[in-house]
Structure 1
């Protein structure tokens, strides 16, 4: 994972509630186990018709959102099954940040474990970002250290679990984070071994 400190990206407004993981990455694409290559399958049933042609009315198919890296959606994003492929697909497509009023818990944790910053934000502020993202080229700056979102005429603080924040800032997965305590682990094991014997 790459360290996440300050990031600026174009907002893509996904004006939908209850976006489930089967819509994020449909089941027919779950046969692979590597994390790469899922971006082309993201929101497949919404992006493409039965013949594989792009649906012009879906937001990701509009040219102005082609380079978006911040997805803003409605309540209960990532509900449904616990498939980790959903954040893999979002990340492979190019999204580094997802903002919504609420997330399914397992999806939220899977995002943070895979280097995607998932931000819970009050519904009125999400409304504003979706509205502005639909009518202007809205670039948003995300400062994880300060836990701030900013854009012209927009500033908001967000909450994040301190451990998840540290993992994202350092760009470490859970195993790598555990290994940062290797000296303490070795010392404990030696002390425990001495007590047992």
Structure 2
């Protein structure tokens, strides 16, 4: 997975609350091999009618080139399916802006290079209100923790661990390996002090 520090793309508005992981990718599609891509299943039942045809006024159908999603609170709640993140990433989404996220979803997102960017509800509502035709250009900078959207710059908080993962394209294993010297030093010190407890 490639890391990134700055992303500019089209932001699309999806002004809904409580979009859960079952909506992001319905369970019936999860038997598909990941190698075939999950992007076409993203929000399938919101984007398509009962005949499987695209719903014309659905924002993600009108702006299929969007790479940033602006939505409301509790995004990614529900079951802990990582496939929900796969669907977003495979569709081309790099950033989701919302007031709050499901905890497991947020962790899965960062491990797959997708930023769950949290702003307070007031800021999100201001952004949504200013999005003409549901779509504007936005730039997210991980180094400065700033997002420029709708002509305004806004700061956001980002845990250092998440910043490091996103910028380096790392997951939890990579983050652990980055501290290999400290881990080895601790192991050696423990062995020296408590050699009697070490397997022989």
Structure-1-length-normalised TM-score: 0.91
Q: Give the root-mean-square deviation of aligned CA atoms.
A: 1.7
In 2, Cα distance between equivalents of 1:35 and 1:139: 30
In 2, Cα distance between equivalents of 1:14 and 1:136: 8
Task: Map 1:63-102 onto structure 2 (within 5 A).
Answer: 65-102=63-100
Q: Is the 8 A contact 1:35 1:88 kept in 2?
A: no
Structure-2-length-normalised TM-score: 0.90
In 2, Cα distance between equivalents of 1:182 and 1:124: 42
Q: Which consecutive unaligned segments of at least 5 residues does structure 1 have?
A: none
In 1, Cα distance between equivalents of 2:26 and 2:43: 7
Deviation at 1:151, TM superposition (A): 3.6
Deviation at 1:72, TM superposition (A): 0.4
In the alignment, what sits opposite 1:150? 148
Distance 1:92 1:136, change over 3 A: closer
For the pair shown, the structure with the greater C-alpha radius of gyration is: 2
In the alignment, what sits opposite 2:56? 56
Question: How many residue pairs end up in the alignment?
Answer: 195
Deviation at 1:32, TM superposition (A): 4.1
Secondary structure in 1 matching 2:131: helix
In 1, Cα distance between equivalents of 2:73 and 2:182: 41
Secondary structure in 2 matching 1:78: coil
Which is further off, 112-121 or 35-44? 35-44
Q: Which consecutive unaligned segments of at least 5 residues does structure 2 have?
A: 196-200
Secondary structure in 1 matching 2:147: strand
In 2, Cα distance between equivalents of 1:191 and 1:34: 43
Q: Is the 8 A contact 2:130 2:150 kept in 1?
A: no
In 1, Cα distance between equivalents of 2:148 and 2:158: 17
Deviation at 1:156, TM superposition (A): 0.4
In 1, Cα distance between equivalents of 2:94 and 2:28: 24
